[in-house]
Amino acid sequence: MQTLDPDLLKTFLAFVDGGSLGQAASVVGRSPSAVTTQMQRLEEIVGESLLLAQGRGRGLTPAGEDLVGHARRILAVHTEAWLALKGARADGRVAIGTTQDFADSGLPELLRAFAASHPRVRIELRVGRSAELAQALQSGLLDLAITMRQAQAPDEIGLLREPMLWLCSQKGLAAREEEIPLALLDPNCGFREAALAALDAAGRRYRIAAGSASLAGLRTAVNAGIALTLRTARFAHSGIVEAPRALGLPPVPSAEFAIRLRQGADLPARDLAALLSGNLALTGSTG
């Protein structure tokens, strides 16, 4: 009997959650052709077609839909076993920093699993802006950080890519305007820079209708319908949805986030970094 390779299942779930093979390739860090080969290999093992043509993309066959639940359970058991073996005798402290994106979506369930399996390890969590977290990591105040990536850093041990999306209130904008009203974080912010660059390149007029130092302020402005914003799908919940195509907003690139580990970090921090590198992209990114 052939076994289900966890790497193949991770790629399969990346397709399920992302909706396309291209997005799955971005999540798992492989080329689209390599992802296609992985899906063909998984179909050979299962003995059934898992994907079918659906418009311009692909969807799931009935066998594919059946596999989703099994794949999630198999990967959860793998993670639980790995954590249990790693954490049985571990002690000490791990200081982790993260942007609000992951503090709201994806990180909580992984920290919970880590805390349950490493009962003697004290976890300290800091939520902040990427530049602030990077400085704290370099000064030794943090062992591990998840930051938006501007350029490659020598302490990176994992990389996450997620599409940027134009987002608005589920009820739409409160008023129609010729200029695009924007809600953006204060400088310096990668999403702010990407939004302005895309609109400038497309020749679209805009105004900054709301500025904020926090995502809570951004969420208030967007939910009120006074502005659009640019984030990832992790921000799309509680009344916030992808902006309609009728607005004609320009295309934007994917956001890159780095998982960074302080050089010389203790074993518990390295264990947590490995857990995040292997699982964070598959948690919470669908909104």
Of 22, 56, 84, the one marking the end of a domain is 84
How does residue 271 score in pLDDT terms, banded at 50, 70 and 90? confident
Q: Are residues 191 and 134 in the same domain?
A: no
The confidence score (pLDDT) of residue 119 equals 82
Q: Are residues 73 and 145 in the same domain?
A: no
Residue 13 CB partners (closer than 8 Å, separation 6+): 68, 71, 72, 75, 282
Q: What is the CATH number of the domain that holds 56?
A: 1.10.10.10
Whether 1 is in a domain gets the answer no
Q: Are residues 186 and 134 in the same domain?
A: no
Q: Are residues 49 and 104 in the same domain?
A: no
Q: Which range (19-23, 115-119, 158-162) has the least confidence? A: 19-23
Print the domain residue range for 211: 165-252
Q: What are the pLDDT digits (tens) for 42-75?
A: 998 988 899 888 777 788 899 999 998 888 888 8
Share of the chain above pLDDT 70, in %: 94
Number of domains in the chain: 3
Residue indicated by tokens 């000064």: 139
Q: Are residues 118 and 245 in the same domain?
A: no
Whether 172 is in a domain gets the answer yes
Residue 118 has pLDDT above 50, yes or no: yes
How does residue 287 score in pLDDT terms, banded at 50, 70 and 90? very low
Residue 83 has pLDDT above 90, yes or no: no
The confidence score (pLDDT) of residue 184 equals 95
Q: Are residues 230 and 113 in the same domain?
A: no
The per-residue pLDDT of the chain, averaged, comes to 87
Whether 287 is in a domain gets the answer no
The confidence score (pLDDT) of residue 57 equals 78
Q: Are residues 92 and 215 in the same domain?
A: no
Residue 153 has pLDDT above 90, yes or no: no
Whether 152 is in a domain gets the answer yes
Q: Are residues 28 and 131 in the same domain?
A: no
Q: Are residues 94 and 208 in the same domain?
A: no
Q: What is the CATH number of the domain that holds 124?
A: 3.40.190.10
